[in-house]
Amino acid sequence: MTAWRVIVLLAFGAMTASAEEACIKATVTVDQVREVAAVSPLIYGQFLEHFHRVVYGGIYDPQSPLSDKNGFRRDVMEAIRRIHVPILRWPGGCFASAYHWRDGVGEDRSGTYDKAWRVEDPNTFGTDEFISFCRETGAEPYLCGNAGTGTPEELSDWVEYCNLSIGKWARLRRANGFEEPRRVRYWSIGNENWGGHEIGAKTPDEFARFVAETAKMMRRVDGLIELAAPSLPNADWNKALLGTAGPYLDYIAIHSYEDPLWQNNDPAPYARCMKWSVNPEALISKTHDLLRSLGNTRIRVAYDEWNLRGWHHPNFTAPVADIPARDANDLNKTYTCADAVYAGCFLNACLRHADIVGMANFAPLVNSRGAIFTHKDGIVLRPTYHVFDLYANHALSKSIQTSTKSGEFRAEDADVTAMDAALTCSGDGRYALAAVNRHDRLPLRMTLRFPESSLSETAELWTVTGAYPDSFNDVDRPGDVALIKTDITWDPRNPVCTLSPHSVNIVCFTASGK
């Protein structure tokens, strides 16, 4: 039995007094079952961009014996289905800001220069391939339109191509072999157009006007689509965007990467990652406060790019980009229990703020900083993959308000609470308590206080962890970080369980009103 499995199983054996003293103490209290909001399943979404091996050699590899007749990697699709990916954002990202969708449809395609990543894209994977991939895996397609070098008409024509039965572009889709409308519901007008790094960056007023006119045309084509536009927690940007385009929008899109590895691929150590693990909730709260200050109670947050690790692409805007250096993104040793714990804290923040977060997209899904790594003989499931497996299959549909108390520990120069928790329920007496132990070395002794309910005597504990904070999975060590189940028995009047160090957990139990 591996060391980390022993750690998990010992959590429910008899603990000596000295062992209990070595635990961090934490309490989760449910005063009464008070629902925050229904949880959007879209918070478990993923992201694909035409960057390095994410698409070509990732999900799409026609030359591989592991691919199907469409060129889609069968092992990748099986892994995606297992975690029930609800939505996939594509084609970018920065790539979208100079991408013209017409280059990637039909039989007559040729390669084009990708002005974002400065390589040639063959355009063999385009709109119809992407939507077909989504249909194969069960994910909703989420198309990100070109608001950099594109036009409102180009984006609205894309909606026509995908969703209408009449018109020039619908006829083109049918001629390309897709008789029925593709029914793409989710669309984004642009990507990070607030930033100087982005092709087609715009001022707040310029972008607000562009979004308003684009959204107007897109909705004239299909009034049932849902629209997002890129934002950031900046009053001037959002005042212009919402004041001009707000009536057309369903989401504003925010992004964050904590570990800025764009230029130097020197991943942060575990402690620094734990210090950063509180940042996504702070960004959600700041964005929510800004929306409310502008009088908006309808538009929700799409956190449609997030990851602990920033993508490595040195000299991105320099005269000569360092393309080969991007291979460093695929070093599996980079992705450790730190990435898993960060992901658990991120998803817990989305659950606690289910009233405002309507979508989130881990960036990316495959290769680079992704949850799945492909190689010629198969795939490696990185630690973050197992976190999505945990939440997608065991978290429930309603977010419940709780209060938590937890001991703290020193993470570099910051005091961080050891436990991060969120409670969900199904409405039929089933509960799932997501609880992260951020501490690198110490187990966490968690007490659940649920005074108005009668709890079951048994529960299931599902845990993602490894033997060490820096444990990782690779081709020759695919299971060093994994998801395991432990059946536990506790005192329903005083339920207590112990969480392993550097672990992400969900405790599944039942409860009924007294």
Helix, coil or strand: residue 458: strand
- Closest by CA to 322, choosing from 262, 260, 258, is 262
Q: Report CA-CA distances (Å) from 136 to 80, 304, 500.
A: 10, 22, 37
Residues 6+ apart with CB under 8 A from 14: none
Q: What are the residues facing 29 on neighbouring strands?
A: 403, 449
Catalytic residue selected from 49, 140, 160, 192: 192
Torsional class of 105: left (φ above 0), alpha (ψ -120 to 50), beta (otherwise): beta
Give the Cα separation of 488 and 11 in Å (integer).
10
Q: At what angle do helices 74-82 and 127-137 cross, to 10 degrees?
A: 50
Alpha helices in 96-151 (DSSP H): 127-137
Determine the number of helices (DSSP H) and then strands (DSSP E) in the chain.
Answer: 12, 26
Please provide residue 299's backbone torsions phi and psi, each rounded to the nearest 5 degrees: -70, 135
Exposed, middle or buried: residue 444 (CB in 10 Å: 0-12, 13-18, 19+)?
Answer: buried
Q: What are the residues facing 463 on neighbouring strands?
A: 484, 505
Helix, coil or strand: residue 374: strand
DSSP symbols for 248-262: G-SEEEEEEEEE--S
Please provide residue 264's backbone torsions phi and psi, each rounded to the nearest 5 degrees: -115, 125
- Strands, E assignment, 78-213: 87-90, 112-114, 119-121, 140-145, 186-189
How many residues does the structure list for the chain?
A: 514
Cβ atoms of residues 230 and 236 within 8 Å = no
The 10 Å CB-count burial string (b at 16+, else e) for 155-193 is bbbbbbbbbbeeeebbebbeeeebeebbebebbbbbbbb
- Closest by CA to 186, choosing from 132, 250, 242, is 250
Residues 6+ apart with CB under 8 A from 281: 345, 349, 352, 353
Residues 6+ apart with CB under 8 A from 469: 270, 336, 337, 338, 440, 501, 502
Q: At what angle do helices 337-352 and 383-394 cross, to 10 degrees?
A: 30
Instruction: Mark whether 305 is an active-site residue.
Output: yes
Cβ atoms of residues 152 and 200 within 8 Å = no
Instruction: Mark whether 192 is an active-site residue.
Output: yes
Within 13 A of 107's CA, how many CA atoms are on the CB side?
5
Catalytic residue selected from 129, 198, 213, 305: 305
Catalytic sites, residue numbers: 192, 305
